[in-house]
């Protein structure tokens, strides 16, 4: 009887040890998922600053010259850098982050690109990965229908045909930040009337993106004396005041 009891106790101890070892292994390996131990460092050219998007999610609220993102798992990510300059130059590519990476924004003959770098960088900003946009308190607005617009002569803004095509392309994008980037590219090459700019603003869901586009588009507006009409696209008075102060400061 004593031998049987001793054997049962030994079996129970062995089973408990096996379970503990398996649990420990899961903790070390992230519960069977990817390990979040990789980092990404991005550095801009001298006297340049930028915003960094990882899988189309903005990481820094203010432009920086260099940034280090921690807690990335061993996978590929789409990295997009939007420079804080007049043209809002944008460059993006997929990056394998199974190992920590340092990328430099390089410029050649007016074009920008991302290049792997081995140099040691002390980043201006170090932070953990932001995986999703902040939750919006207000409900998601219904899709905006194509607004009726009278024919517009090219000298007064984009032609009706070109504007309709650009409007459709922007509205078909899924992510708000992608809509913003595309809208900037369109207005930088096609001056618009204040109503055309207002209708593009209404395609953007986030208040800060509407404000950013309104500021950027001001220089390309053919009716700057009517820019007060953009107040109707904002939900908050603070956004209206900030746009007015921006214009007054130019």
User: What pLDDT is attached to residue 245?
Assistant: 93
**In 3D, which of 63, 68, 60, 67 has the Cα closest to residue 49?**
63
CA gap 26, 57 in Å, rounded: 29
User: What pLDDT is attached to residue 134?
Assistant: 64
User: What pLDDT is attached to residue 138?
Assistant: 58
User: What pLDDT is attached to residue 80?
Assistant: 93
Q: Which long-range contacts (CB under 8 A, 24 or more apart) does 227-231 make?
A: 227/194, 229/194, 229/195, 229/198, 230/194, 230/197, 230/198, 230/201
Walking along the chain (250 residues) 10 residues at a time, the average pLDDT comes out as 46 45 40 67 90 92 94 89 84 89 86 85 91 66 63 67 93 92 93 95 94 95 92 92 91
User: What pLDDT is attached to residue 135?
Assistant: 59
**In 3D, which of 238, 239, 54, 76 has the Cα closest to residue 133?**
54
User: What pLDDT is attached to residue 131?
Assistant: 86
CA gap 165, 182 in Å, rounded: 12
Residues 6+ apart with CB under 8 A from 6: none
Beta bridge pairs of residue 80: 53, 92
């Amino acid at each position: 009887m004593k031998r049987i009891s001793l054997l049962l106790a030994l079996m129970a101890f062995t089973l408990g040890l096996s379970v503990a070892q398996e649990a420990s292994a899961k903790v070390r390996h992230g519960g069977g998922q990817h390990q979040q131990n990789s980092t990404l460092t991005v550095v801009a050219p001298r006297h340049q600053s930028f915003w960094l998007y990882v899988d189309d999610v903005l990481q820094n609220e203010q432009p920086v010259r260099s940034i280090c993102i921690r807690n990335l798992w061993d996978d590929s990510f789409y990295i997009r850098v939007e420079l804080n300059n007049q043209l809002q130059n944008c460059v993006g590519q997929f990056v394998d982050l199974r190992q920590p990476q340092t990328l430099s924004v390089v410029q050649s003959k007016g074009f920008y690109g991302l290049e792997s770098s081995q140099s040691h960088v002390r980043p201006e900003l170090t932070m953990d990965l932001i995986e999703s946009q902040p939750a919006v308190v207000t409900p998601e607005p219904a899709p905006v229908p194509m607004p009726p617009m009278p024919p517009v002569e090219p000298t007064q803004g984009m032609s009706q045909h070109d504007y309709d095509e650009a409007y459709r392309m922007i509205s078909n994008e899924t992510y708000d930040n992608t809509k913003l980037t595309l809208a900037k590219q369109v207005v930088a090459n096609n001056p618009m009337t204040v109503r055309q700019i207002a209708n593009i603003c209404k395609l953007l869901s986030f208040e800060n993106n509407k404000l950013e586009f309104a500021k950027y588009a001001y220089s390309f507006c053919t009716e700057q004396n009517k820019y007060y009409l953009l107040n109707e696209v904002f939900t908050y008075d603070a956004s209206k005041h900030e746009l007015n102060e921006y214009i007054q400061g130019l």
